[in-house]
Structure 1
């Protein structure tokens, strides 16, 4: 796979900026969260599917590195690679880019865990998730 999965495309709005005029960290996190849900849907773990089956995905770990500041009016995209699929968890990496030039603004690496929402216990991921994730493990550009 030459290119990572496009999981988000949007813009930085003025109300997302802090007193220094840069997008506040809470909005980076929010956009990465939206990208995570796009990834999960791509892997067959859409919110409706999870709700109907009494399952969920929870964030167990997240590390974000900020490379350059974003300001109001900047167009952004997030591209995602899967780094590893365990029996109950998936580790993935988001790269937020300023468009159209594609410069990296931030990178976030996360671990999501598959759970039973009633018992609040981790559960094995469906086999289909691994099948759908495998092609996303070849995007070397995000490693």
Structure 2
């Protein structure tokens, strides 16, 4: 897995319980997603040039420990599978100081033709670039 995100928990991201609200876990994992996409060639330039996009069609998040204001975070990410039109992604979020696992999320993301609004196959070059990012379980 590779590092795809670094950031901090800000006080405005806390909920009434005093820890980072679930919406911010999702946002940080989303930012990690875009870095992972870019590494396989799914860049903003690619999306503009070919009128393509990506959409999460399923997401499962598990929370393991609290993130508090001031905590430094990082995410590690990898692909668990590649299909004709979909990527299967795993992100892990850690406290950078303690190295404690805070949360994981698994996503299924579809490659979209933005004109037809339907999933479409990845180009062969994208699939080839993605193979080294597959996680060996």
TM-score range, shorter chain: over 0.9
TM-score (ref. length: structure 1): 0.92
Q: Which consecutive unaligned segments of at least 5 residues does structure 1 have? A: none
Q: How does 1:64-103 map onto structure 2 within 5 Å? A: 64-103=61-100
Match 1:50 to one of 47, 51, 56: 47
What's the C-alpha RMSD, in Å, of the aligned pairs? 1.1
Q: Which consecutive unaligned segments of at least 5 residues does structure 2 have? A: none
Report the 3-state secondary structure (helix = DSSP H, G, I; strand = E; otherwise coil) of the residue aligned with 2:89.
Answer: strand
TM-score (ref. length: structure 2): 0.96
Structure 1 position 139, deviation (Å): 5.0
1:9-39 deviations in Å (ceiling 9; x for gaps): 0000000001111000000000000000110
Structure 1 position 81, deviation (Å): 1.3
Runs of 4+ in 1 over 6 A off after TM superposition: none
Match 2:35 to one of 34, 38, 62: 38
